[in-house]
């Protein structure tokens, strides 16, 4: 399996505080990966760095088969290069309908002129309907997304990510605030998505991570503490000390 | 399947119908061709109001939809006015000069005519030389192009610098105010080449036109109505589709739009520039009806009023901006023009000229706090419709 994203030796400090400390991380083309770690471990900051929101102080981020460096690229460019991101707090455009949200995310020319003259074609609308089906929002297509339940908003955001057709999906705490049934469905969506692309899921809930049934990376104080199967890392004494034992 | 743009937005059709009806009624009652119940000066007031409504539509696009509180759009409005004013003043002065010089024994040379025009126009600022910026003042076509190009170019450069540095929110508002202030201070200088604080005057007179003002005023009224109609339609179309989705997304969560892969800065710049061009056209139609333009028109406060009108009308829907602007600017000129009767309370006399601003400020605060949908929200009560549309 070839490497899709390679992060090596990345560090970033906020006012002298090292949130990410010489972090190295790799993920392959069609891989599902869970990232766990205590609060403040740097999980969100790691995503901020990969997506261009935060500029690292040092280190390299190499992307794709062309081995492009992502450092210094704008958020929009990185997104267009194929990295999609779901935020910790569900962020959909609440005043717009589910369909409008999905149409905006659909993989299309992003330039202002192309967007100005954009008219959704039949395949576009079919694709939107298909995505809505996948995230269980078929009946809600024409609803204003602000009216959706918390779980539905999370799914809509995942749906928007899928619409972007990214090669790497970064998902920050998708199951937070969900009912057990909703969690199960979220798991299914993510596992399905990871069949055709790389997916990184940050999650606190161990039960959820177990169901993802994938390689786990444990972050602590901005660096990788352990990596391997869930059973492997949960037996690791360091992990028990800083994370599980608390 | 997708229905047509008009079918999805019936309010656009309603608005255009009302505008057409209004234009017809005013024409019938005006002095120019009709029964004369509406005075020529009031026709001009109404025509100017339509121009203000047009810039309000632009303001709603940039503020209500894209979430950028620009407090500088009257600078673009004023620039549009200056561009048309230069041509009007030049051509008109040229006619006067030519007819007075032709009374001499020898026919005047082009140089003599040029010098005499320069003297007429720039005498008030102690000069008779034509500044460079007047180089094309004799070309109707070019000056009309400048109406759009000059504000557009200023917006493009200013916006590029501001958005590229990710200046947002209140900082951007302050920056646009600074731009307006800078422009008006520049225009106030005699050396600006635009007659300093005298501004450009006599703009109500169209060169080569002998029709009375009662008729000319209607021409401008019609042109203003047409511009408002076309501008409204254009902006409604812009905000109705995916472009509208993206800019509303930028308003509500800029970062999220970026992570979707949209270059937020390009969108902001496009909207800023487009609205500046619309403002320029509105100004170019406004000042010939006002008859005069001077740097005070570009003062920072004017752009703030614009934001107040749109807020009172209800931002985020175009007809709200139009209703608010028409209502507030008309009422405003009634109160400040001294036509409103003072209220004698015995112990105190309420003079509206003084109290109007306080009343306006108060309504602004009240609307912001208790009726964020503004006057446009009243339409919801009638149609019982929820949510925003165009
Ligand atoms: N922009 C910032 N400025 C200053 N400090 C920051 C900033 N962003 C993150 N931090 C700090 O960096 C550390 C890592 O934060 P981060 O949000 O990445 O943690 P996390 O692993 O996502 O935690 P959680 O599980 O609570 O979401 C925290 O101590 C946080 O306070
Ligand atoms: Mg986090």
Instruction: Read off the CATH number of the domain in which A47 is found.
Output: 3.40.50.300
Tell me the average pLDDT of chain B: 92
Chain A residue numbers with beta carbons less than 8 Å from the beta carbon of B166 are none
Provide mean pLDDT across the span A222-244: 89
Q: Which atom of ligand 1 is nearest to the CA of A41?
A: 21
ipTM of the prediction = 0.91
Comparing CA positions, the residue from A44, A45, A39 lying closest to residue A12 is: A45
The answer to whether the CB of A14 is under 6 A from ligand 1 is: yes
d(CA B132, CA A232): 79
Q: Which domain holds residue A19?
A: 3-244
Tell me the average pLDDT of chain A: 92
Say yes or no for a CB contact (<8 Å) between B249 and A51: no
pLDDT score, position B372: 84
Provide mean pLDDT across the span B318-331: 94
pLDDT score, position A210: 92
pLDDT score, position B337: 78
Share of chain B above pLDDT 90, in %: 70
Distance A43 CA to ligand 1 centre (A): 8
The answer to whether the CB of A243 is under 6 A from ligand 1 is: no
pLDDT of B381 over the 90 cut: no
pLDDT of B376 over the 60 cut: yes
How many angstroms separate the Cα of B322 from the Cα of each of B56, B60, B138?
Answer: 6, 9, 35
pLDDT score, position A177: 83
Provide mean pLDDT across the span B302-328: 94
pLDDT score, position B3: 67
Which residues of A touch chain B, with CB atoms under 8 Å apart? 51, 53, 74-77, 79-80, 84-85, 87, 91, 93-96, 100, 103-105, 110-112, 115-116, 118-120, 122, 125, 144, 160, 164
Say yes or no for a CB contact (<8 Å) between A115 and B242: yes
pLDDT of B178 over the 50 cut: yes
Which residues of B touch chain A, with CB atoms under 8 Å apart? 1-2, 238, 241-243, 245-246, 248-249, 252-253, 255-256, 258-264, 266-267, 270, 387-388
More confident residue, B352 or A59: A59
pLDDT score, position B1: 42
pLDDT score, position B130: 87
B205 touches A74 (CB < 8 A): no
d(CA B188, CA B82): 13
pLDDT of B47 over the 70 cut: yes
Residues B179-200 pLDDT 10s: 999 999 999 998 889 999 999 9
Can you tell me whether residue A3 is helix, strand or coil?
strand
Provide mean pLDDT across the span B215-230: 97
pLDDT score, position B356: 86
d(CA B27, CA B38): 9
Q: What percent helix, strand, coil does chain B show, rounded to 5?
A: 75, 5, 25
Chain A residue numbers with beta carbons less than 8 Å from the beta carbon of B3 are none
Best of A102, A112, A142, A145 to disrupt the B interface by mutation (most B CBs within 10 Å)?
A112
Residues A88-106 pLDDT 10s: 888 899 999 999 999 999 9
Torsion of CA A148, A149, A151, A155, to 10 degrees: 0
Nearest to A112 among B2, B249, B270 (CB): B270
- Name the residue at shortest CA distance from atom 7 of ligand 1: A14
User: How do A223-228 and A215-220 pair as beta strands?
Assistant: antiparallel
Residues A153-200 pLDDT 10s: 999 999 999 999 999 999 999 888 888 888 998 999 999 999 999 999
How many angstroms separate the Cα of B314 from the Cα of each of B74, B112, B136, B324?
Answer: 19, 55, 41, 7
pLDDT score, position A246: 58
Distance A34 CA to ligand 2 centre (A): 13
Structural domains of chain A, count: 1
Share of chain A above pLDDT 90, in %: 76
User: What's B301-357 look like in SS3?
Assistant: HHHHHHHHHHHHHCCCCHHHHHHHHHHHHHHHHHHHCCCCCCEECCCCEECHHHHHH
Name the minimum distance, in Å, from the CA of B253 to any CA of chain A.
7
pLDDT of B4 over the 70 cut: yes
Which residue of chain B comes nearest to A76, CA vs CA? B261
Torsion of CA A55, A60, A65, A66, to 10 degrees: 80
d(CA B197, CA B189): 7
pLDDT score, position B43: 96
d(CA A68, CA A28): 15
Residues B119-135 pLDDT 10s: 999 988 888 888 899 99
User: What's B239-252 look like in SS3?
Assistant: HHCHHHHHHHHHHH
pLDDT of B245 over the 90 cut: yes
- Name the residue at shortest CA distance from atom 8 of ligand 1: A45
Sign of the Cα torsion A97, A169, A110, B164 reads positive
pLDDT score, position B225: 98
Provide mean pLDDT across the span B321-331: 94
Chain A residue numbers with beta carbons less than 8 Å from the beta carbon of B266 are 111-112
Provide mean pLDDT across the span B285-313: 95
Cβ atoms within 10 Å of B380's Cβ, excluding its own: 16
pLDDT of B145 over the 60 cut: yes
pTM of the complete model beyond 0.80: yes
pLDDT of B290 over the 70 cut: yes
pLDDT of B390 over the 60 cut: no
Chain B residue numbers with beta carbons less than 8 Å from the beta carbon of A53 are 255
Distance A30 CA to ligand 2 centre (A): 24
Provide mean pLDDT across the span B323-329: 94
pLDDT of B48 over the 70 cut: yes
């Amino acid at each position: 399996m070839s490497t899709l994203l390679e992060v090596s030796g990345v560090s970033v400090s906020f006012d002298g505080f090292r949130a990410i400390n010489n972090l190295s991380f790799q993920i392959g083309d069609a891989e599902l990966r869970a990232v766990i770690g205590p609060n403040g471990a740097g999980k969100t900051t790691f995503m901020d760095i990969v997506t261009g929101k935060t500029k690292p102080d040092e280190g390299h981020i190499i992307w794709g088969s062309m081995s492009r460096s992502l450092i210094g690229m704008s958020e929009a460019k990185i997104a267009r290069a194929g990295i999609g991101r779901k935020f910790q707090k569900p962020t959909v455009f609440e005043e717009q309908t589910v369909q409008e949200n999905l149409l905006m995310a659909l993989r299309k020319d992003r330039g202002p002129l192309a967007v100005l003259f954009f008219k959704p074609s039949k395949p576009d609308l079919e694709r939107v309907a298909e995505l809505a089906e996948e995230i269980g929002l078929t009946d809600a297509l024409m609803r204003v997304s602000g009216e959706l339940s918390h779980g539905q908003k999370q799914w809509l955001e995942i749906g928007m990510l899928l619409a972007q057709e990214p090669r790497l999906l970064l998902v920050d705490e998708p199951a937070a605030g969900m009912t057990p049934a909703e969690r199960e469905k979220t798991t299914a969506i993510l596992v399905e998505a990871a069949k055709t692309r790389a997916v990184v899921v940050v999650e606190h809930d161990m039960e959820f991570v177990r169901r993802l049934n994938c390689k786990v990376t444990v972050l602590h104080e901005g660096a990788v503490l352990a990596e391997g199967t869930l059973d492997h890392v949960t037996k690791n004494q360091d992990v028990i000390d800083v994370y599980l034992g608390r | 399947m997708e229905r047509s743009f008009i079918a999805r937005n019936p309010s656009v059709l309603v608005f255009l119908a009302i505008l057409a009806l209004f234009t017809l009624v005013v024409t019938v009652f005006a002095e120019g061709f009709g029964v004369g119940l509406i005075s020529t000066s009031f026709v001009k007031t109404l025509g100017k109001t339509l121009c203000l409504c047009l810039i309000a539509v632009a303001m709603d696009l940039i503020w209500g939809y894209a979430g950028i509180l620009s407090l500088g759009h009257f600078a673009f409005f004023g620039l549009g006015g200056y561009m048309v004013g230069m041509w009007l003043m030049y051509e008109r002065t040229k006619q006067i000069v030519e007819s007075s010089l032709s009374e001499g024994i020898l026919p005047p040379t082009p140089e003599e005519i040029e010098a005499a025009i320069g003297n007429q126009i720039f005498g008030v600022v102690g000069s008779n030389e034509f500044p460079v910026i007047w180089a094309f003042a004799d070309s109707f076509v070019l000056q009309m192009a400048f109406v759009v190009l000059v504000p557009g170019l200023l917006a493009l450069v200013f916006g590029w610098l501001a958005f590229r540095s990710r200046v947002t929110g209140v900082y951007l508002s302050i920056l646009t105010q600074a731009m307006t202030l800078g422009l008006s201070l520049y225009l106030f200088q005699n050396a600006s080449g635009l007659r300093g604080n005298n501004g450009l005057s006599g703009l109500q007179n169209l060169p080569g036109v002998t029709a009375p003002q009662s008729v000319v005023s209607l021409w401008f009224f019609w042109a203003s109505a047409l511009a408002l109609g076309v501008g409204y339609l254009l902006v409604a179309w812009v905000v109705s589709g995916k472009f509208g989705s993206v800019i509303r997304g930028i308003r509500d969560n800029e970062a999220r739009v970026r992570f979707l892969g949209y270059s937020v800065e390009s969108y902001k710049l496009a909207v800023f520039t487009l609205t500046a061009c619309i403002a320029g056209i509105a100004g170019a139609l406004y000042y010939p009806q006002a008859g005069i333009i001077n740097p005070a028109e570009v003062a920072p406060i004017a752009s703030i009023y614009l934001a107040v009108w749109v807020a009172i009308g209800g931002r985020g829907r175009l007809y709200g901006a139009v209703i608010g602007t028409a209502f507030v600017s008309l009422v405003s000129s009634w109160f400040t023009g001294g036509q409103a009767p003072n209220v004698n309370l015995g112990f105190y006399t309420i003079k509206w000229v003084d109290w109007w601003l306080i009343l306006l400020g108060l309504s602004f605060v009240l609307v912001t706090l208790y009726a964020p949908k503004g006057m446009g929200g009243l339409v919801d009560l009638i149609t019982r419709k929820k949510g925003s549309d165009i």
